[in-house]
Amino acid sequence: MEKPKPVTQAAKAVALAAVVLLVCVPFLVIVSTSLASTDEVVANGGWVLWPTQPSLDAYRDILDGGIVTHALGVSAGVTLVGTLLSLACTVTLAYALSRPGVFGGRPMLLLILFTFLFPPGMIPSFLLVKELGLLDSYASLVLPVLVNVFNLVVLRGFFQGIPEELYEAARLDGAGDWRVLFSVVLPLSKAALAVVGLFYAVAYWNSWFYASLYLESDHWPLQQVLRTYVVAGSGLTDATTGEGTISAPQTVQMAVLVIATVPILLVYPFLQKYFTKGVLTGAIKS
């Protein structure tokens, strides 16, 4: 193909730079402000782009025990347990639905896909959780969202892409369903498992609404704490640091934001290379 015109190329470069900056600058401002000293933030009118005297005061204040530390533990626990349970249920279900000739496979699939078209609604779900006695238990954050239809369809599509010969070979060697799943299917599905696992983990980590619905405030995960103290603007500093230490609210708010975002930023680079492979092979086929 011929070379594009210089004007087009310049326009493209500008557009791409704009995309990158629009995503990166907000994060930079948040991180910088959380690391700045109180005086500098106040002098600068509430935020800084690059702290001249970096300090970890804001982090020390909020991690000094109290609400944020506890919420961090809740979030980590729910994310870990929830992701493992969800993956286990999704993998077994997807495997069963991906094999031809499973008893009732087709009706089961339709039954599940229907839930995608017609979700039950907030009030009935809430009343169900209430009547099951799950209110104010961490199970209420995990069980009602255990299997995600989209993730299920992605995994099923991926499993179906595995050549039939491999299944037959394993069968001939006398492997049962569990053996086939663990020794043949899963090792070949690492990309899809990584992506689906990430989706689940992110969903659990980011969830706040169910927590606000089902849990008492002393059991809240990090996002709900963030919502209450940063978005709604209640006084976080008083509650966590006690009397005496007064931190600039701005730096503390930014620090909570950073703590809530960092885990995602940490796992993201390792998993994002699988996105295209994992999501699309599964989703496009089905």
Partner 1 sequence: MLPGLGYFLLFHYGALAGNLIAFKEYVPFDGIWASPWVGTGNFQRMFVDEAFWAAVLNTVWIAVLQLVFYFPVPLALALLLHSLTRSSIRRFVQSVAYLPHFISWVIVVALFQQLLGDTGLLNSSLDGMGLSTVDIIGNPDAFRPLTVAQVIWKDAGWGTIIFLAALAQVDEQQYEAAAIDGAGPWRRFWHVTLPAIRPVVVLLLIMRLGEILSVGFEQMLLQRDAVGPEAAEIIDTFVYYQGIVGGDYGFAAAAGLFKGVIGALLVYAANKVAHRLGEQGVYK
- Which residues ranging from 101 to 130 are in contact with partner 1 (CB under 8 A)? 108, 111-113, 115, 117-128
Question: With contacts defined by CB under 8 A, how many residues of the chain interact with partner 1?
Answer: 80
Q: Using CB under 8 A, which residues numbered 83 to 102 contact partner 1? A: 88-90, 92-93, 95-97
- Closer residue to partner 1 (CB): 69 or 125: 125
Does the protein bind partner 1 through residue 131 (CB under 8 A)? yes
Rounded to the nearest whole angstrom, what is the least distance from the CB of residue 253 to partner 1 in the complex? 7
User: CA-to-CA distance for 68 and 158, rounded, in angstroms?
Assistant: 39
> What's the gap between Cα 217 and its chain centre?
22
Does the protein bind partner 1 through residue 280 (CB under 8 A)? yes
Q: Using CB under 8 A, which residues numbered 20 to 39 contact partner 1? A: 20, 22-24, 26, 29-30, 33
User: CA-to-CA distance for 98 and 163, rounded, in angstroms?
Assistant: 12
- Closer residue to partner 1 (CB): 23 or 172: 23
User: CA-to-CA distance for 285 and 156, rounded, in angstroms?
Assistant: 10
Rounded to the nearest whole angstrom, what is the least distance from the CB of residue 168 to partner 1 in the complex? 21
Q: Using CB under 8 A, which residues numbered 223 to 252 contact partner 1? A: 223-224, 226-227, 230-232, 250
Residue from 38, 47, 139, 160 touching partner 1 (CB under 8 A): that is 47
Rounded to the nearest whole angstrom, what is the least distance from the CB of residue 34 to partner 1 in the complex? 11
Rounded to the nearest whole angstrom, what is the least distance from the CB of residue 233 to partner 1 in the complex? 9
Rounded to the nearest whole angstrom, what is the least distance from the CB of residue 251 to partner 1 in the complex? 11
- Closer residue to partner 1 (CB): 8 or 183: 8
Q: Using CB under 8 A, which residues numbered 180 to 219 contact partner 1? A: 202, 205-209, 213
* Region binding partner 1 by CB under 8 A among candidate stretches 59-67, 138-146, 167-175, 187-195: 138-146
Residue from 56, 270, 272, 285 touching partner 1 (CB under 8 A): that is 272
SS3 assignment for the chain: CCCCCHHHHHHHHHHHHHHHHHHHHHHHHHHHHHHCCHHHHHHCCCCCCCCCCCCCHHHHHHHCCCHHHHHHHHHHHHHHHHHHHHHHHHHHHHHHHHCCCCCCHHHHHHHHHHHHHCCCCHHHHHHHHHHCCCCCCCHHHHHHHCCCHHHHHHHHHHHHCCCHHHHHHHHHCCCCHHHHHHHHHHHHCHHHHHHHHHHHHHHHHHCCHHHHHHCCHHHCCHHHHHHHHHHCCCCHHHHHHCCCCCCCHHHHHHHHHHHHHHHHHHHHHHHHHHHHHHHHHHHHHC
Rounded to the nearest whole angstrom, what is the least distance from the CB of residue 177 to partner 1 in the complex? 10
Does the protein bind partner 1 through residue 135 (CB under 8 A)? no
Does the protein bind partner 1 through residue 16 (CB under 8 A)? yes
